[in-house]
Amino acid sequence: MNIGFIGLGVMGRPMALRLIDAGHQLTGCVNVSDIDPDLLAAGLRVKEHPAAVAARSEIVITMLPDTPAVERVLLGPDGVLAGIHGGSLIIDMSSISPEATRRFAHRAFEAGCEYLDAPVSGGEAGAEQGSLSIMIGGDDASVQRALPLFEVLGRNIVHVGDIGSGQTCKIANQIVVGLTIEAVAEALVFAARAGADPARVREALLGGFAASKVLETHGERMLQRNFEPGFRSDLHRKDLNLALDAARTLGIALPNTASTLQLFNALAAEPDGGSLDHSALVKVLESLASTRLDG
């Protein structure tokens, strides 16, 4: 199938490679990403702007860092909607605002196109291995049309609901992951400061109701001081900002999301703090306790 793929960064690059390996003809775009030589060697075609990519694609996938980038690529001059044929399908796999998503989808529908929001979780490793979780908003027919592509990219593929529901689900995911990282950090720093060995505490907690992927993975990172991303803390900060923006629009209170975002802000205030893995949030809790997990 002719697929446009716009946003060939840390996540988009391995996803595009998997789609090429699965036999699809992919077209990328020079004015959005630097194009990796591996992609060109694999057969990626390159056009000068998103409109030209869209003009030769039945399906256009976007995988971009934030809401303004998606807006520019879809609605800007020489954007996707300026070149796309009626009947094409746009799949936005970026993690962006659910509200803006509904606006972009509306514009796509006006152009006679289909639209899905399908953000992912699972990180670079998941993108490489095709084991991403994919959270989808949109109508059934479009989901069926996209399913063969999703199956190349991910394993836990859930159609959550209408347009925007994929983004809402991704925000819910980031709330749980961020607040669980904060919880594990508070607990391990507390235990260390109270004189217990945080590694043994982690081990004991893995056996009961405190068990989580985060305690397993990020807890281990905190103990090993391994803060190479993984997932950059400033991307998590962006996601919690999306949560609080949506909460303000909805008129609801998310108290621990709000306080956890403040702690991510404090991490961002440290030199290079924003480029560390999100498990580095433990450094902020350590500074609030004048202690370190590694003694």
User: Least distance from C-beta 117 to a copy of itself, angstroms?
Assistant: 11
Kindly state whether residue 175 participates in binding a copy of itself, applying the rule CB under 8 A.
yes
Calpha distance 197→231 (Å, rounded):
27
Calpha distance 80→111 (Å, rounded):
11
- Cβ-based neighbours of 108, under 8 Å, separated by 6 or more: 74, 81, 90, 114, 115
Q: Near a copy of itself by CB under 8 A, which window of 50-58, 76-84, 198-206, 268-276?
A: 198-206
Q: Which of residues 73-102 bind a copy of itself (CB under 8 A)?
A: 98
Between 67 and 88, name the residue whose CB sits nearer to a copy of itself.
Answer: 67
Kindly state whether residue 41 participates in binding a copy of itself, applying the rule CB under 8 A.
no
User: Least distance from C-beta 103 to a copy of itself, angstroms?
Assistant: 15
Q: What residues are annotated to the active site?
A: 170
Kindly state the number of chain residues that form the binding site for a copy of itself, as judged by CB under 8 A: 75
Calpha distance 109→243 (Å, rounded):
26
Both tokens of residue 50?
């998103």
Exactly one of 59, 84, 171, 293 binds a copy of itself (CB under 8 A); that residue is 171
Q: CA neighbours within 13 Å on the CB side: how many for 233?
A: 31
CA dihedral 168, 171, 172, 173 (to 10 degrees): 120
Strand partners, 156: 133
Kindly state whether residue 133 participates in binding a copy of itself, applying the rule CB under 8 A.
yes
Between 86 and 255, name the residue whose CB sits nearer to a copy of itself.
Answer: 255
Phi/psi region, residue 285 (left: phi>0; alpha: psi -120 to 50; beta: rest), is alpha
Between 154 and 273, name the residue whose CB sits nearer to a copy of itself.
Answer: 154
Kindly state whether residue 37 participates in binding a copy of itself, applying the rule CB under 8 A.
no
Q: Near a copy of itself by CB under 8 A, which window of 81-89, 103-111, 269-277, 286-294?
A: 286-294
Kindly state whether residue 241 participates in binding a copy of itself, applying the rule CB under 8 A.
no
- Is the CB of residue 229 less than 8 Å from the CB of residue 221? no
